[in-house]
């Protein structure tokens, strides 16, 4: 007998997995017996006319809703599960295959997000009337980008555009769009954007798949400023459109919704100026009529009161003459009292040659209040003299 290596069962299963299933695979088929255990483990079968493949994954890896009968492409690694000996495929990623599957996945996700409140009208934010800074998420190679910028510049000038290039279709599109929104969210404090714009030209269901993903829906929902979404043609309706605060039918329409045309703004200003001019003229006319009526009323009142004022004036003049005579008399008496008071003033006495003598700031009234060698101060009419008693 040829010498063959003896494996344990576990070693042999591991050997088979390493030898036969070393590489990831992509398999397309129809989902059957789809179920979720404990809210996180996903089990289903992938089948076609000739075979059935057991599949396993988790809710964290599969980002789109699935159901029986949906045709999909699975990305993962096949292998033998050691504990059961069953052959199955561990799925890392799944995408709908064919337009029918894409539409069904679209409907299922739309229903889920609607229940979560992402489409609720009350959470929609209003666009600023005259935005100054906008963030633009688009592909620089796309016609949508050129159309949007052209229409925006033609309609209104002076707007700063912060552009973030993204992939808009293919396997990397979802991550690329989500990364763009993450960038603008993280730098909002620095950029001070007024709104974000997500645009892409038209295409098939496969082309627009990224805009019907849960990840992009959450990115739009979590944006710090209002979002305008202009994806596809007018008849296209993506999940991103429903989540956005404002849906535009095309990229060019997105520019039209964001800013008014400068000619329309000029006309609005002119119309408001005409309205204000008319209102001002009417207000001035009303004011003039009111002033005329008030002046006439005041003229009558002034004529009536003029007579009363004349009578009061005569009475006041009489009383003023009486009080003037009394004031003159009292003034004469006051002058006499003033002169008398001044004659008793110490300063008046000093004017006549007398002096005020102090010792330690106390007025001396008798010779007994001092003794030899005391220092005294004498206040005269024009100054002070210091002396010593001898």
Burial of 126 (0-12, 13-18, 19+ CB in 10 A): exposed
pTM exceeds 0.75, yes or no:
no
Q: What is the mean pLDDT of the chain?
A: 84
- pLDDT over 80 (residue 8): no
- Residue 22 has a pLDDT of 64
pLDDT at 134 over 90: yes
pLDDT winner (highest mean) among 4-13, 101-110, 123-132, 313-322 = 123-132
User: CA-CA distance, 175 to 93, in Å (whole number)?
Assistant: 13
pLDDT of residue 16: 75
Condensed to tens digits (0 to 9), the pLDDT of residues 249-288 reads 999 999 999 988 776 666 776 777 777 878 887 888 788 7
CATH class of 9-97: mainly beta
Distance CA(131)–CA(254), nearest Å, equals 13
pLDDT, greater one: 222 or 12? 222
pLDDT at 247 exceeding the cut of 90: yes
Q: Which residue has the higher pLDDT, 102 or 220?
A: 220
**Comparing 212 with 24, which gets the higher pLDDT?**
212
pLDDT for the residue numbered 4:
77
Within 10 A of 161 (CB to CB), how many other CB atoms are there?
13
The lowest-confidence range among 122-136, 187-201, 321-335, 354-368 is: 321-335
Average pLDDT over residues 189-207: 90
Query: What are 344-377's pLDDT values in tens digits?
Result: 667 777 777 788 888 888 888 888 888 888 888 8
pLDDT of residue 70: 84
**What is the bridge-based pairing of β-strands 227-231 and 195-200?**
parallel
Residue 115 has pLDDT above 90, yes or no: yes
Domain ranges of the chain: 9-97, 116-260, 262-344, 346-388
Mean pLDDT of 152-161: 86
Name the CATH architecture for the domain at 116-260: 3-Layer(aba) Sandwich (3.40)
How confident is the model over 213-245, as pLDDT tens digits?
Answer: 899 999 999 999 999 999 988 777 899 999 999
Percentage of the chain with pLDDT > 90?
A: 29
Confidence of residue 2 (pLDDT cuts 50, 70, 90): low
Band of the pLDDT at 343, cuts 50, 70, 90? low
| Burial (CB count within 10 angstroms: exposed 0-12, middle 13-18, buried 19+), residue 177 | buried
The yes-or-no verdict on residue 71 having pLDDT over 60 is yes
């Amino acid at each position: 007998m040829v010498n063959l290596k003896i494996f344990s069962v576990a070693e042999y299963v591991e050997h088979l997995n390493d030898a036969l299933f070393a590489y990831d695979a992509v398999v397309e088929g129809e989902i059957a017996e789809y179920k979720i255990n404990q809210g996180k483990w996903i089990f289903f079968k992938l089948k076609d006319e000739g075979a059935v493949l057991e599949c396993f994954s988790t809710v964290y890896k599969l980002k789109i809703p699935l159901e029986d009968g949906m045709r999909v492409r699975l990305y993962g690694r096949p292998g033998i599960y050691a504990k059961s000996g069953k052959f199955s495929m561990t799925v890392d990623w799944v995408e709908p295959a064919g337009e029918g599957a894409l539409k069904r996945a679209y409907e299922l996700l739309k229903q889920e997000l609607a229940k979560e409140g992402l489409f609720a009208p009350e959470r929609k934010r209003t666009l600023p009337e005259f935005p100054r800074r906008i963030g633009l998420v688009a592909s620089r190679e796309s016609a949508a980008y050129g159309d949007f910028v052209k229409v925006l510049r033609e309609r209104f000038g002076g707007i700063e555009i912060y552009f973030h290039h993204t992939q808009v279709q293919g396997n990397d599109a979802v991550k690329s769009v989500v990364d763009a929104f993450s960038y603008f969210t993280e730098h909002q404090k620095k950029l001070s954007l007024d709104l974000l714009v997500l645009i892409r030209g038209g295409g098939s269901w496969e082309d627009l798949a990224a805009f019907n993903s849960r990840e992009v829906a959450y990115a739009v929902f979590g944006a710090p400023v209002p979002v305008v979404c202009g994806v596809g043609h007018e008849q296209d309706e993506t999940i991103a459109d429903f989540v956005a605060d404002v849906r535009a039918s095309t990229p060019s329409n997105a520019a039209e919704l964001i800013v008014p045309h400068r000619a329309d703004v000029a006309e609005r200003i002119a119309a408001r100026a005409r309205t204000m001019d008319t209102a001002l003229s009417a207000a001035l006319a009303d004011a003039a009529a009111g002033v005329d009526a008030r002046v006439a009323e005041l003229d009558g009142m002034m004529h009536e009161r003029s007579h009363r004022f004349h009578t009061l004036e005569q009475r006041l003049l009489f009383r003023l003459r009486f009080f003037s005579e009394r004031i003159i008399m009292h003034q004469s008496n006051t002058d006499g009292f003033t002169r008398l008071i001044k004659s008793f003033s110490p300063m008046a006495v000093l004017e006549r040659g007398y002096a005020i003598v102090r010792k330690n700031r106390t007025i001396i009234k008798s010779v007994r209040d001092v003794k030899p060698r005391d220092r005294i101060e004498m206040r005269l009419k024009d100054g002070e003299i210091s002396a010593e008693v001898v």
